[in-house]
Structure 1
Amino acid sequence: MTETIPAARTVAPTAASPSAKPTRIRYFILALLLIATILNYVDRTNLGIAAPFLSKDLGLDKAQMGQIFAAFSLTYAFALVPGGIIADVLGSRIAYAFALTTWSIATLTQGFANGFNMLFGSRLAIGALESPAFPANARAVTMWFPTGERGFATSVYITGQYIGTPLFAGLLLWLANDFGWRSVFFTTGFGGLALGLAWYFLYRDPLDHPAANAAEIDEIRAGGGLVGKKERDAFEWRKAIKLLTYRPVLAICLGKYCNNSILIFFTTWFMTYLVEARHMTMIKVGIFQALPFLGATAGILLAGFFSDFFIRRGYSMSAARKAPLIIGTVLASSIVLVNFVESDVVVIAVLTVSFFAQGVASSSWAAVSEIAPRQYIGLTSGVTSLAANLAGITTPILIGYILHYTGEFYWALNIMGGVCLIGAFSYSFLLGPLYRIEMD
């Protein structure tokens, strides 16, 4: 199918002038994606920040908290495929605005919870309603950025899942301590409603954006960006199922699941680990909790930068995109070392290195953008993200039950280290060369 280019855009004066300077609206779009992703993860992790307070107030034990932590991923993981379809059909503008608004309303309901059932139900709702977000991110980046910039652009918005906690954890801890844990959910919920409205008015796809000139559109297209409006293929489940038969898709699914186990630990049980297993004061927690997240932020940015750098220097796209995945998942397994050190400073150093490596391996989103069929970018993102977020179901429940029966994090951390090595195996030996999948 051919791209349909609006006539006004093809005859614009800027397109006729060889010296026309391209606009850089795509970097404004990237800033929007980053802000939306920050809020996305703040609304996932705000429960972890409030957990020490609300668990005491509502009388919830570790096994119950593990189930509540897992509730988000229980619906999020299985809604990602429909969420990807929604992103493909409605486009990033409508899909993201809808998701932001509705999950923020569900976030607000947590502030009214009076026990296990309401908290569990609210987390189920948030998981389902956030599902179009990352497929919409992947779709937007694939449309707005040429191949040589796509790895770094992907890394920038993915940093949102790491920098939200160090940026806002102190504020949210202060709110929970001084104004009660319910204020955490009210604050983040109302913030999301405002951002949903802003997204709707500010985001457009490339050919629809009034501030993107023809020179920028041509630059993106020439570099491999899928800027065009295409006639939409009718969705067929047969093709969605066929997607799962491709080796690169399955290998990335396994690798993302393994790598995401580390992220889930940090977004659920990390605060509890510092307070209860390491007996740190709230002042220490406030200082130390930010360091692993800053490490992960550095990891994803460096991975994206060097991946694009090596592509521009003539290295194969496969090698440049796969190297961070393998290196990151191997190094992330270093989390097991915290079981053998006593010093709080060394513990945080080890956790920072492990989370840095997890950030490096999170550049798998760029690999997804490279292999996804043109008409199923959102769907491919949804399928691979579903696999990653199965870890959000298994990891918090597993840790919760281990703590309930042993009272220690020892075996939980050892298991996560082993899972990371399985991810490294998948990226090293199962993935194979990366290529754009063509589906009839």
Structure 2
Amino acid sequence: MKPAGTRPRSAAPTDGVAGSSWLRRWSVVVMLLLFMLINYGDKTVLGLAARPIMHEFGLSPSQYGLLSSSFFFLFSLCALTVGLASSRISTRWILLVLALVWAVTQVSVVAAGGIGLLLASRIVLGAAEGPAQPMALHAAHSWFPNAKRNIPSALIVGGGALGGAIATPLLTVVIVHFGWRAAFLTLFLVGCAWCALWLAIGRDGPVDLAPAGVAQVPASRVPYRRILLSGTWLGGFTGAFGAYWTSTLMVAWLPSYLETALGYSTGEAAAIATIPWLAGLILTFAHGAITQWLLHLGVPSRIARGVLGGCVLILAGLAMVLLPTVTQPVLRIVLIAVAFSFHGVTFANGQTVNSEISPPAQRGAVLSVSVALVTVAGLLAPYVTGRLVEAADGPAAGFATAFAIPGVLMMAGGLGALFFVRPERDARRIAALAVVKEKP
């Protein structure tokens, strides 16, 4: 008996998307890229305004770390909740509501007269940003077959790097010349503009279809534990946890590290902090293009996605561990670029692999569960770093210890990807389970 929801391979169109126009598909991808750009701008602004905020409210490093960590108080819970609801609610409307909440939280900060409102706004913002990446990828993957998802995934995840690259210098200029509240107001206006465009352009994609010659994961549901306990999911989770720890450090602490530990001015720190964002954007897209090209040539997903992604993550971890030991300025900047950009490959690649092994009806939930668990690292990283910096003899010593944690996590995650990420094998096992479940 054929799994419910599947079609004969001969019935699947060559591009895997029936009746959808090229322009519509890529218009949605561009909007999702901009969605992630705004997402990272909203995250980055607090780190960029760290010094004036700490000065105005009299915050210690650990108190600022707690404020930064508050972003993740409801992040994982909301990612999970919205992900589970995505099988019943249109992704188009989910994304619109999320963006509207972001905008409201940014404008509320403008009126902040104390740490209480600022803390509340970050908690609400984190709750609304928790589902952002999995929902954006879920929306994009509904328009593309498995073999053609790496480039859209890279563009959407790369939107975060682009957001950092654009937001870091521009918001720094706004903060320096107009004050830190003006930066939050700017993000409010940008968010409102995106919502208006999304109402006109955003649409849900058609039903997932397998490209000719490729087995499709059945549309029927399987127990989530079968997916989440697979070697592919567990191997990807290990690497993503370390990568997210690194990503959070980049947003919350990298500008401060450059100023307090390395002695750069605010302008110099902003310029250097922009480099990883730009490098991450280029690398994420290049990795996606290379992976998709390898898949087109017939290279197994285990190699194209698992081994290649694992090697990149190992390099990022090694650079992070070596960074505090280097004193030569140029080499130090190179290591900063590698450590804080190579890790980003994991987000696009890992979630594409998760889509590969997930039944379409459960894809949004699986992507969201992954984010919910991975982003626990975001809750821990800012506060742990603040405590380490505060307890050390000086900022440089504190950051050296703080950087060792994600460095080791990323190297371990890279090794996990090399040995345990086997998408084709696990997709077959999950497909077989669905077939058995449907037999009378």
Contact 1:278 1:344 in 2 (8 A): no
> Within 5 A, what are the aligned runs for 1:78-227?
78-207=77-206
Q: Distance in 1 between matches of 2:374 and 2:46?
A: 20
- Residue type at the aligned position of 1:186: L
Q: 1:106/1:224 Cα in 2 relative to 1: closer, same or farther (>3 Å)?
A: farther
The superposition leaves residues 55-97 of structure 1 with CA deviations (integer Å, 9 ceiling, x where unpaired) of: 1111111001111111112211222111212333212201100
Deviation at 1:364, TM superposition (A): 1.3
| Aligned residue number for residue 274 of structure 2 | 290
Deviation at 1:138, TM superposition (A): 2.0
Deviation at 1:150, TM superposition (A): 0.6
TM-score (norm 2): 0.86
Match of 1:394 among 369, 375, 380: 380
Match of 2:402 among 399, 403, 412: 412
Q: Distance in 1 between matches of 2:123 and 2:22?
A: 42
Contact 1:252 1:426 in 2 (8 A): yes
Match of 1:428 among 418, 426, 429: 418
Contact 1:255 1:423 in 2 (8 A): yes
Q: 1:410/1:36 Cα in 2 relative to 1: closer, same or farther (>3 Å)?
A: same
Contact 1:62 1:401 in 2 (8 A): yes
| Aligned residue number for residue 10 of structure 2 | none
Contact 1:95 1:132 in 2 (8 A): no
Q: Distance in 2 between matches of 1:112 and 1:173?
A: 20
Q: 1:404/1:288 Cα in 2 relative to 1: closer, same or farther (>3 Å)?
A: same
Q: Distance in 2 between matches of 1:414 and 1:23?
A: 45
- Residue type at the aligned position of 2:230: Y
| Aligned residue number for residue 379 of structure 1 | 365
| Secondary structure of 1:327's aligned partner | helix
| Aligned residue number for residue 349 of structure 1 | 334
Contact 1:240 1:379 in 2 (8 A): no
| Aligned residue number for residue 338 of structure 1 | 323
| Secondary structure of 1:315's aligned partner | coil
Matched length: 411
Deviation at 1:317, TM superposition (A): 2.0
Q: Distance in 1 between matches of 2:153 and 2:36?
A: 11
| Secondary structure of 1:204's aligned partner | coil
Deviation at 1:32, TM superposition (A): 0.8
> Within 5 A, what are the aligned runs for 1:233-244?
239-240=223-224, 243-244=227-228
Deviation at 1:224, TM superposition (A): 7.2
- Residue type at the aligned position of 1:199: W
Q: 1:346/1:91 Cα in 2 relative to 1: closer, same or farther (>3 Å)?
A: same
Q: 1:314/1:243 Cα in 2 relative to 1: closer, same or farther (>3 Å)?
A: closer
Contact 2:301 2:422 in 1 (8 A): no
Q: Distance in 2 between matches of 1:113 and 1:385?
A: 30
Q: 1:243/1:116 Cα in 2 relative to 1: closer, same or farther (>3 Å)?
A: farther
| Secondary structure of 1:351's aligned partner | helix
Q: Distance in 1 between matches of 2:316 and 2:55?
A: 32
| Secondary structure of 1:429's aligned partner | helix
Contact 1:46 1:185 in 2 (8 A): yes
| Secondary structure of 2:142's aligned partner | helix
Deviation at 1:22, TM superposition (A): 6.0
Q: Distance in 2 between matches of 1:58 and 1:83?
A: 34
**Which stretch of structure 1 is more off in the superposition, 132-141 or 395-404?**
132-141
| Aligned residue number for residue 24 of structure 2 | 25
Q: Distance in 2 between matches of 1:338 and 1:75?
A: 32
Match of 2:286 among 270, 295, 302: 302
The superposition leaves residues 250-273 of structure 1 with CA deviations (integer Å, 9 ceiling, x where unpaired) of: 332222111222111111101101
Task: Give aligned-pair identity as a percent.
Answer: 23
Contact 2:227 2:358 in 1 (8 A): no
| Aligned residue number for residue 213 of structure 1 | none
What are the ranges of 5 or more consecutive residues in structure 2 without an aligned counterpart? 8-12
| Aligned residue number for residue 211 of structure 1 | none
| Aligned residue number for residue 61 of structure 1 | 60
| Aligned residue number for residue 43 of structure 1 | 42
Deviation at 1:165, TM superposition (A): 1.6
- Say what the alpha-carbon RMSD is for the aligned residues: 2.7
TM-score (norm 1): 0.86
| Secondary structure of 1:88's aligned partner | coil
Contact 1:100 1:196 in 2 (8 A): yes
Q: Distance in 2 between matches of 1:380 and 1:21?
A: 25
| Secondary structure of 1:90's aligned partner | coil
**Which stretch of structure 1 is more off in the superposition, 265-274 or 114-123?**
114-123
**Which stretch of structure 1 is more off in the superposition, 41-50 or 335-344?**
335-344
1:361 equivalent in alignment to 2:360: no
Q: 1:76/1:21 Cα in 2 relative to 1: closer, same or farther (>3 Å)?
A: closer
Q: Distance in 1 between matches of 2:278 and 2:365?
A: 30
| Aligned residue number for residue 214 of structure 1 | none
Moved beyond 6 Å, runs of 4+: 223-226
Contact 1:146 1:223 in 2 (8 A): no
Contact 1:86 1:132 in 2 (8 A): no
